[in-house]
A = this chain, B = another copy of it.
């Protein structure tokens, strides 16, 4: 009727129910020979665990934390919204999530946040710094699984990365920048901080493609806006005073200031930014921004939770589990 059960597997493998259970939920204490026999039996019978029954029976609760920056980006708000949307599914899968906000680019604050965690796994979006790496190492040592979110920390020893390919994000921005700009011109790049790996990687990709394929454009030295609206606004205005700007690539947050500044420029530069927020959505609609490259936070949350669950269960997550797609929005496909 409803497919083979553990019972059938046990029968085929010529072992007891308990042994099948031990193998399936790798609890250990089973000889290699028997493990193979059970696994073969699983394949032979076509057994697939009944998730409903499993979740019903399992009383395990997964406790996960998200350590993410507050700030003008509204990232925390979006994360909250995404989690709220997934709440039902999370509850069904026995997952409890807590969000720990930190001040952006404030390493001390990030470290403090990492110190006071009480959970099975954590997804962190933090700066790249040796002190952070140490903190992550000690988390890992104490058995907490660590996933880097959006901004990778390859040298920290984190268990996995969940986020977009940021180099590709920068390359994509350059592709559209190059095609949207009619003639050659000056391109202003504004990052939040180059210590944030997502920002530096995007910058890298952007510069690569601009130089490779759109060498009529002149790249101005990259500015750092600290994800702060006022700073970003000032950077744009200061730069525009000395020379015309044909294009702006804003890598980090602070788009509120960017909207204000771009509004005063004539001719309006081609403006490409990251993250679809209220502000960038509105700016797209009015034509202030020309393109928004967005990472789907909801998909990111789902992926992160999935990976953290796998890690907590000592399962190796699928290779592409952490890869988040980039969404490209123009004024016509805002959602």
Q: Which residue numbers of A lie inside 8 Å of B, CB to CB? A: 1-3, 48-53, 55-56, 59, 61, 88, 91-94, 168-169, 171-172, 174-176, 179-180, 182, 209, 290, 296, 323, 325-328, 330-333, 335
Contacts and interface: CB of A to CB of B under 8 A. Distances in A.
B332 A328 contact: no
Contact of A182 (B3, B61, B182): B182
Nearest to A293: B333
Contact of A93 (B3, B51, B328, B331): B51
A21 to B, nearest CB: 17
Given A50-B56, A326-B333, 18 more contacts: A1-B61, A2-B94, A3-B91, A48-B88, A48-B92, A50-B92, A50-B94, A51-B93, A52-B52, A52-B55, A52-B93, A52-B94, A172-B330, A175-B330, A175-B331, A182-B182, A325-B327, A328-B333
A222 to B, nearest CB: 19
A269 to B, nearest CB: 14
Copies in the complex: 2
B328 A2 contact: no
17 contacts: A1-B59, A2-B61, A3-B91, A48-B91, A48-B92, A49-B92, A52-B92, A52-B93, A168-B333, A169-B333, A175-B330, A175-B332, A179-B180, A179-B290, A323-B335, A327-B327, A328-B330
A174 B332 contact: yes
Contacts of A55: 52
A256 to B, nearest CB: 24
Given A56-B56, A61-B1, A94-B2, A176 B51 contact: no
B48 A52 contact: no
Nearest to A328: B328
Contact of A332 (B59, B61, B168): B168
Nearest to A180: B179
Contact of A52 (B1, B53, B176, B335): B53
A156 to B, nearest CB: 25
A92 B330 contact: no
Contacts of A331: 175
A323 to B, nearest CB: 8
Contacts of A94: 2, 50, 52
Contacts of A182: 182
Interface centre among A61, A290, A332 (most CB of B within 10 A): A332
A298 to B, nearest CB: 10
A327 to B, nearest CB: 7
A186 to B, nearest CB: 20
Given A56-B53, A182-B182, A333 B91 contact: no
A323 B48 CA distance: 30
A290 B176 CA distance: 11
Contacts of A2: 59, 61, 94
B59 A52 contact: no
Nearest to A167: B332
Contacts of A50: 56, 92, 94
A144 to B, nearest CB: 21
A87 to B, nearest CB: 9
A170 to B, nearest CB: 9
